[in-house]
Structure 1
Amino acid sequence: MLMIRIIHSNSVVQFEMLNDYAEEMEELIKSKSTKYLERLKELSNKYSEDEQDDFWYYNRERLTQFHVDYPNLLRSSILISAISELENVLKKIKQELINYSILDPEDFTKKNKEEKGSSIEKTLKIFCDKLSIGLISELDSWNEVRFLIDIRNRVTHSVGQVHPIEQERLYNLLSLMEESDDRTIRLSPYHELIFLENSSTFIINSCLKLLKSITESVLTTVAVSKN
């Protein structure tokens, strides 16, 4: 299946470009935040010692914007872009399998009507069921990507908030991650998602690992079925 290999290779390039962008973005976040803080310090010198507390209190929201809000917005855009790319490449692989009559389009229509879940999860379940490549839970990196899809949904549908009751599973998982030294995403005291500096690398690598796993499984299964 040459086209599936080409689709996979092209998607890897897209993820590499996204990673390059993410690295440049982190450098920009650091430099701009530092410059802004320096400007505020220079400005604060114009005020007396008695006025310093009022000055910094007034600018506390601006500091939060530069150090938390703006970086969070940029990093969440990496998540949305990565999940969208993964969705698109799986759709292309699915279409190739349909074009070669390896899969029936009715399988996807039925799955979309009967089951809940993301388009990625539904597509992977069809691949696993119809191509006999095992259970979706056994796929490398699926749990990581499932976690990221849940995070993406909170960003797009709930302004980045995770309700401890309505999204109990995700909330508990994020709470457990608080104890980890290598956590990439955490919750604020107000249950808002905070993307840490290393989140983009985790997001992109998780998507790449799952894509590699499913592509290799599909190609191997198709090759065996032809023999």
Structure 2
Amino acid sequence: MTDYPVRITARPDTPGRWLWLVKWLLLIPHYVVLIALWIAFVALTAVAYLSVLFTGRYPRPVFDFNVGVLRWSWRVGYYGYWVLGTDRYPPFTLADVPDYPARLEIDGPPAPKRWLPLVAWLLALPHLLIVAALTTGFSWTADNGTRYSAPGVAALAALFAAAALLFTGRYPAGLHALLIGAWRWSLRAWAYVALLTDRYPPFALDLGEGEPPAARPAPTGS
């Protein structure tokens, strides 16, 4: 298993042909709860930034809550339109659910340098630009007021996966691996921005259901 402290995994499941057509409706309760949770996430991250800045410590209750919000979001995304990877309805909990197909774990709380809250968002910008291209895509407004959108790689891959499920009843393994890799990169980046880890995320599209194995040091000659 990777030695990076943010671990995102997703076990392959057997989603059905048609349920994805109504998941937007089934997920409304989760979306309502997640809006409130993300408002709290932003507020508590600001509290954590101040705590790190003045004390060098990340409050444990804030860490546990914020990890739970990312974990909940990942489960909903895996069931929903991030991946469409399972038809098992996500639980309403911030806690880890070991037998759910999608899991997120973060070692911590970290002990960041006191100056890191001042620059973490800036250091993360290259990652955030990459993950936007990989996941949600970009939107912009031209000088004439026309709004344009460019979907992300994951958005297109999820659309192809949905079509494959509908017409063949099978989820292409390659698309599943790509979608997990794209959202793994995104969640690592946002965990760093929230200072849930002080280790800079790797520039790596780690594909597949599990984290890559930790790098082993090369043997030295005797």
Provide TM-score, normalisation by structure 1.
Answer: 0.30
Query: Relative contact order, CA 8 A, sep 6+: which one is greater?
Result: 2
Provide TM-score, normalisation by structure 2.
Answer: 0.31
Higher helix share: 1
